[in-house]
């Protein structure tokens, strides 16, 4: 069996001003440094304006930095957008693409997400590609088919286990306090693992994260599920104690 190191990723979404972000990131960086060898990688994905200051604050720690989105182009007339090369310049190693809030709020298609992931890869960034069904799709028995379609459309040519992470986030579990059962998570992650065959180089080594109301109280159970290689955490990543507790539950 391929050993996959767990990745605990915090998606701060549109939360936090400079002082809050610096305090949170510095706290986590200090805990990671103090802990020495840990069984997980930890990543924070602050809003764009906080990337440079957070990078400076955590530069001498193992805490990794990522962004929440990127454009598929390097530069040009794209008002309001940020390119992968800019993210790299800001100290990012990761970028989330295709989060369900981007798919819903900005109408992002699988093809656009694949283009963003490919652009991220070109700059040496790891793309965290998000997939997940809505509650109506799950109730209609379409969860596997929806996720298969998203994977097929969102994973670009050239994706490997080193440059790509998949995050399974059932839309109905994000920010709602509802969590998929360990059995449902196990079944979906096995489905995703099987689907990666032929789409990503070294499919067995790809990390598949679970996201959707992960918190200290349910993290250990979820992180113990087969093929769950970490978590993408929203709300609970905004408190250092909670996010750290999720990490150490691995
Ligand atoms: C997310 O934003 O990706 C997420 C999973 O949020 P939450 O943990 O708050 O459900």
Percentage, residues of the chain above pLDDT 90:
98
Whole-model pTM?
0.98
Catalytic annotation present for 169? yes
Other C-beta atoms closer than 10 Å to the C-beta of 214 total 28
Torsion angles phi and psi, residue 41, rounded to 5: -95, 145
Predicted confidence at residue 3, as pLDDT, reads: 83
Hey, which of 175, 179, 180 would you mutate to test ligand 1's pocket, going by the most ligand atoms within 8 Å of its Cβ?
175
104-108-111 Cα angle (round to 5): 145
Extents of the domains making up the chain: 1-11+83-250
Give the model confidence (pLDDT) of 171-191 as tens digits: 999 999 999 999 999 999 999
Q: Is the pLDDT of residue 88 over 60?
A: yes
Predicted confidence at residue 1, as pLDDT, reads: 57
Q: How far apart are CA 150 and CA 22, in angstroms?
A: 35
Catalytic annotation present for 108? no
Give the model confidence (pLDDT) of 29-69 as tens digits: 999 999 989 999 999 999 999 999 999 999 999 999 999 99
Residue from 101, 108, 112, 169 carrying the catalytic annotation? 169
Q: Could you tell me which residue, 29 or 3, shows the higher pLDDT? A: 29
What does the pLDDT average to over 190-202?
97
Fold of 1-11+83-250: TIM Barrel (3.20.20)
Q: How far apart are CA 235 and CA 108, in angstroms?
A: 23
For residue 176, give the ligand 1 atom closest to its CA: 10
Q: How far apart are CA 168 and CA 187, in angstroms?
A: 12
Residue nearest atom 4 of ligand 1, based on CA coordinates: 234
212 lines ligand 1 (CB under 6 A): yes
């Amino acid at each position: 069996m391929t050993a996959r190191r767990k990745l605990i990723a915090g998606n701060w979404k549109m939360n936090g001003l400079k002082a809050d972000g610096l305090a949170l990131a510095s706290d986590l960086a200090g805990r990671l440094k103090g802990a020495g060898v840990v069984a997980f990688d930890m990543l924070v994905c602050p809003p764009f304006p906080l990337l440079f200051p957070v990078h400076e604050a955590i530069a001498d720690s193992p805490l990794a930095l990522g962004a929440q989105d990127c454009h598929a182009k390097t530069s040009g007339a794209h008002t309001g957008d940020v390119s992968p090369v800019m993210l790299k310049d800001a100290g990012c190693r990761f970028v989330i693409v295709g989060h369900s809030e981007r798919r819903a709020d900005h109408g992002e298609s699988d093809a656009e997400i694949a283009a963003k992931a490919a652009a991220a890869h070109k700059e040496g960034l790891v793309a965290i590609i998000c997939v997940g069904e809505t509650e109506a799709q799950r109730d209609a028995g379409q969860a596997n088919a929806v996720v298969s379609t998203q994977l097929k459309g969102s994973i670009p040519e050239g994706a490997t286990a080193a440059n790509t992470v998949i995050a399974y986030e059932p839309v109905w579990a994000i920010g709602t306090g509802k969590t998929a059962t360990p059995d449902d998570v196990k079944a979906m992650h096995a489905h995703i693992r099987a689907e990666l065959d032929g789409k990503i180089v070294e499919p067995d080594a790809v990390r598949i994260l679970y996201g959707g109301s992960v918190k200290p109280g349910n993290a250990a159970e979820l992180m113990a599920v087969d093929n769950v290689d970490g978590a993408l955490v929203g709300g609970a990543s905004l408190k250092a104690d909670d996010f750290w507790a999720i990490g150490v539950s691995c």
